[in-house]
Amino acid sequence: MGQLGCIAILGGGPAGAALGTFLARRGLDVVLFHQGKRPPIIVGESLVPAVVPYIRRLGIEDEVAGYSIWKGGATFVFDRDSRLSFRFDEVRKAKTTYSYNVPRDRFDASVLEAARRAGVRVVDHPARLALEGDADRVRLSDETREAAGLSRPPDFIVDAGGRRRILPRLLGIPAVDGDRRDTALHAHFEGIEVEIEGNVHTDRLEHGWLWRIPLPGRVSMGAVVDSQYIRKFGETPEQQFDNFLKHDPVIRDYARPARRVTPVVRYTNYQSRCTRGVGGNWALAGDSFGFVDPVFSTGMLLALQSADWLAEALSRGTPKALARYEKRVLHNLACWQRVIGWYYDGRLLTLFRVGEYVRYRPIGRMLDFHFRKHIPRIFTGENATHPYSLALIRFMVNHGLAGNDPDALRVA
């Protein structure tokens, strides 16, 4: 590859804009294609603490803090009568002990503006791509280059355009799908209660699960439900979501007085990751490479990590560096997929419940300091791929449930 001249990025969301910022700060010439069109609301409003160092690097934390809700922890609702909360400042050895719940329109605008300040050329125009001969290479159409004012083709093209997956579709790259076939229905509400102010809430329901994310003046709610099951509640996303909220016994009491203030957005194209992430003159970043599941609010972290790691690889400019980037992202996605699977099969919630009981017993008090260093930091994002932390939680979900049947807390 050698020294790269111009790099074209498709997509001005957080992955693309952060990548552009990191590359431009390294002195590379970056053009970013961003149409500015977006759904009324976007999944990814709750940030895990491991995102905070990235927004500091982008120079936008004070700005983000000014329009967001400070997030101090997480609450897991097992059923109508049982729940568990933990605070990030209770996590031993945590590097960051807080985070934010963000209005995504403003957050995305902040990241894009950081890219402009870094010198990225932002072009409000769709990018058209074509295959370049029989090689594993792609090119911008002449019309796209002309719209961007490019006198010659870019040296490298990055698809950071989200789950549209422009490059994977063009190149026929296969994807690995998760076990779930769920639909996510997402909207904003007024009048929704939360147990702990600022916490992200994950409610296990009779069917599926629900997130509650406190935002300024409203609460974001999203139901993740089996696609076949949710169809019984209506034809449109609004019918399905509104009727489902009235039906489920875990949430209908506090959802009854609520007022929906946005349209309902429906997502089905997740729990999927591409089998390849780099090629002759291209790479994937963010959701274009893979999006696992919204349950632990990892989407933004995965997007910004991929931007950071790809910027490092492109600055080195070697095939070996790009191959290392691809391997690293695939490993990251696989680790999260495994942990998320333990949530759905009930083992993770069972472990949380057992842990709350055992920690106050003599053996629990002896080991609690150790568990609080490793297991919670998976969910804050700091230790998501740490070999020992993952081995510890794998051992515990397989052998530490104290005889409790995890099917009792399985997410249907």
- Distance, CA of 162 to CA of 175 (rounded, Å): 14
Q: What is the pLDDT of residue 280?
A: 93
CB atoms within 10 A of CB 254: 16
For residue range 264-280, list pLDDT tens digits in order. 999 986 788 999 999 99
Beta-sheet pairing, 209-215 with 200-204 = antiparallel
Lowest model confidence (mean pLDDT) among 168-172, 257-261, 364-368:
364-368
Domains annotated on the chain, with CATH:
6-66+103-175+271-338 (3.50.50.60), 69-102+181-270 (3.30.9.100), 345-409 (no CATH)
CB atoms within 10 A of CB 325: 25
Angle, helix 362-379 to helix 387-399, in steps of 10 degrees: 120
pTM over 0.75: yes
For residue range 17-37, list pLDDT tens digits in order. 999 999 999 999 999 999 877
Is a pLDDT exceeding 80 seen at residue 154?
A: yes
For residue range 85-144, list pLDDT tens digits in order. 999 999 999 999 999 999 999 999 999 999 999 999 999 998 999 998 878 999 999 999
Is a pLDDT exceeding 80 seen at residue 153?
A: yes
SS (H, E, C) 30-67: EEEECCCCCCCCCCCCECCHHHHHHHHHCCCHHHHHHH
Indicate the pLDDT class of residue 251, thresholds 50, 70 and 90: confident
Q: How far is CA 72 from the centre of its chain?
A: 18
Write the CB contacts of 212 (distance below 8 Å, at least 6 apart in sequence). Answer: 192, 194, 200, 201, 203, 219, 220, 221
Beta-sheet pairing, 272-274 with 290-291 = antiparallel
Tokens at residue 346, please?
């009930």
Mean pLDDT taken over the chain? 93
Beta-sheet pairing, 175-177 with 218-226 = unpaired
